[in-house]
Structure 1
């Protein structure tokens, strides 16, 4: 769909717009995104390059982040 967020490659200047786009997209389909795991999977699917590598490594080491969307987003803010 045209309203998907732009992919995030790890550019710090694009983090806030990326997070806002993801939030808006998920708000439009709250039933589809009612579980943290689904929200985290969606956000990571919108990542490329350095950001995607970070997310993969982070989720492998910190499984709890897969089930804690707010903690995952906070971690993203610290890294990017």
Structure 2
């Protein structure tokens, strides 16, 4: 597997240690997304809000996309694995990655907004 997959696995397997001096994000940690189209808007809002208030951690598109990937499960996780294996440019393009998620999981935005 490529380095990005190994990095994500390492992040997910790390034991959580209390960090007394670390700033705590006031936004609740985003729930996972399994590919349910009805939950996609909520997932995007949750993850976007969480990353927005902690811009020092999520300072570039690759970090944002990697964070989104760590919150995927089931069919949504299976969908992204080929992108990781091919080292797709979408992994470094947050807006492009969101657009592809919306296309694949059937979220059609209302054009009146």
TM-score, normalization by structure 2:
0.66
Aligned match of 2:71: 46
Gaps of 5+ in 1: none
Task: Return the structure number with greater relative CO, CA threshold 8 A, min gap 6.
Answer: 1
Alpha-carbon offset, residue 11 of structure 1: 0.3
Secondary structure, aligned partner of 1:47: coil
Distance, in Å, in 2 between the alignment partners of 1:32 and 1:62 is: 22
**Bigger Rg over Cα:** 2
TM-score by length of 1: 0.91
Aligned equivalents of 2:28, 2:94: Cα separation in 1: 21
- Equivalent positions of 1:1-80 (< 5 A) are 3-61=28-86, 63-80=88-105
In structure 2, distance between residues paired with 1:74 and 1:62 = 18
Structure with higher helix content: 1
Consecutive unaligned residues of structure 2, counting only runs of 5 or more, are 1-24, 106-113
Q: CA RMSD in A?
A: 1.6
